[in-house]
Amino acid sequence: MPRPEDCETLCLETKGLSVAYSSALVVDNLNLSIPSGALTALTGPNGSGKSTLLRALSGLLSPTHGSVLLDGRSISRFTTREVALQVGVLAQGPVAPEGLTVLDLARQGRYPHRPLFARWSEKDTAACDRALSLTGMTELGDRPVDQLSGGQRQRAWIAMTLAQETPILLLDEPTTYLDLAHQIEVMELASSLVRTMGKTVVTVLHDLNQAARYADHMVMLKAGRIVASAPPAEVMTVEIVREVFDVESIIVPDPLTQTPMCIPVRRRP
């Protein structure tokens, strides 16, 4: 089983990755290297292939061409269980069965760690305890997931992926549909997983300023291609925002974090 310290070496990258849905190319010949032990944000307009790229990175979607490499080896050559021990995934808007409690959900994260007929172990309990405490869900353990607020529900699902104890975590639009307070909460959590546990986190984000504030690395996509892949200071420029979103903008430093902040002016005619 991988330990957090392995994160430095375990890397995730794509080589000539293309994904097509019924002959429409959604991700087009991407070469991308995800920095280990850092927070990477995938951003871009609707339909730019962000979520598709994330699903391909997680092995949930098979590439049409090219490959996703996990530690240098094609992810399709690992078994689903081997992938699940390295990569945790929070899908977009997952739905828990009615009545499933937060604790029961977190416990499902231990699935890849348990062979077919293995019993629940102390190690499993410890992993769930940690996951719930990291997400601040310990007190809500016996509450049904479907009765929680949007932010709590998102944290409950993150708790499940944390109980999975993977060095890599992929989050698909974790802040969409959440109010401001819950957005901050989820982003702070994602960022603390990187800072304190050395995890590699890749997240799809809609909000450019959120991405620039929390991410170490920003990938800007347009029509299935990478326009820029670099630290936020290099990606958030007037030129790139214009090219990707067709929007004129002003970039100013975030008064709090000094990270670049995009103020849109108008849509280009």
Partner 1 sequence: MSTRVPVGADRLRLIALVTLCCLLPLAAIWSVSLGATVLPLDSIINAIFAFDGSRDHLVVAAVRLPRVLAGLLVGGALAIAGAIMQAITNNPLASPGLLGINAGAAFAVVFTMSVFGTGAQGSLVWTAFAGAGAAAVLVSLFGSTGPMSGTPVKLVLAGAVLTAFLTSLTTAFLIMDRSTLDSVRLWTAGSLTGRTMDEVRAVAPYMLAGLAAALVFPRQLTVLSLGADVSRSLGQNPVFWRGVAAVIVILLAGSAVALAGPIGFVGLIVPHIVRLTVGTDYKWIIPFAAAGGAFLVLSADTLSRLLFASQSFPVGVTMATIGAPFFIWLARTSPWGRS
CB of 159 to partner 1, least distance (A): 10
Choose between 120 and 234: whose C-beta lies nearer to partner 1.
120
Answer yes or no whether residue 88 interacts with partner 1 by CB under 8 A.
yes
Q: Which stretch binds partner 1 (CB under 8 A): 10-18, 125-133, 202-210, 259-267?
A: 125-133
Give the Cα separation of 108 and 38 in Å (integer): 26
Answer yes or no whether residue 123 interacts with partner 1 by CB under 8 A.
no
> Closest by alpha carbon to 8, among 161, 219, 170, 197?
197
Please identify which residue in 10, 13, 41, 107 interacts with partner 1, judged by CB under 8 A. Answer: 107
Please identify which residue in 7, 42, 83, 240 interacts with partner 1, judged by CB under 8 A. Answer: 83
Phi, psi of 141 (to 5 degrees): -50, -40
> Closest by alpha carbon to 173, among 216, 214, 135, 203?
203
Please identify which residue in 111, 121, 149, 234 interacts with partner 1, judged by CB under 8 A. Answer: 111
Structure-derived torsion over alpha carbons of residues 178, 266, 28, 83, reported in degrees to the nearest 10: -20
Please identify which residue in 5, 8, 139, 234 interacts with partner 1, judged by CB under 8 A. Answer: 139
Give the Cα separation of 165 and 17 in Å (integer): 27
CB of 268 to partner 1, least distance (A): 35
Answer yes or no whether residue 42 interacts with partner 1 by CB under 8 A.
no
Q: Cβ distance 249 to 263 under 8 Å?
A: yes
Answer yes or no whether residue 71 interacts with partner 1 by CB under 8 A.
no
Q: Cβ distance 212 to 238 under 8 Å?
A: no
Range 242-267 burial, b when 16+ CB lie within 10 A, else e: eebbebebebeeeeeeebbbbeeeee
Q: Under rule CB under 8 A, how many of the chain's residues touch partner 1?
A: 43
3-state secondary structure of 209: helix
CB of 124 to partner 1, least distance (A): 8
Answer yes or no whether residue 63 interacts with partner 1 by CB under 8 A.
no
CB of 144 to partner 1, least distance (A): 9
CB of 149 to partner 1, least distance (A): 15
Give the Cα separation of 115 and 113 in Å (integer): 7
Please identify which residue in 25, 91, 197, 223 interacts with partner 1, judged by CB under 8 A. Answer: 91
Give the Cα separation of 222 and 48 in Å (integer): 5
Q: What is the contact surface with partner 1 in residues (CB under 8 A)?
A: 58-60, 79-85, 87-89, 91, 94-101, 103-104, 106-109, 111-112, 114, 120, 125, 128-129, 132, 138-139, 141-142, 146, 161, 164
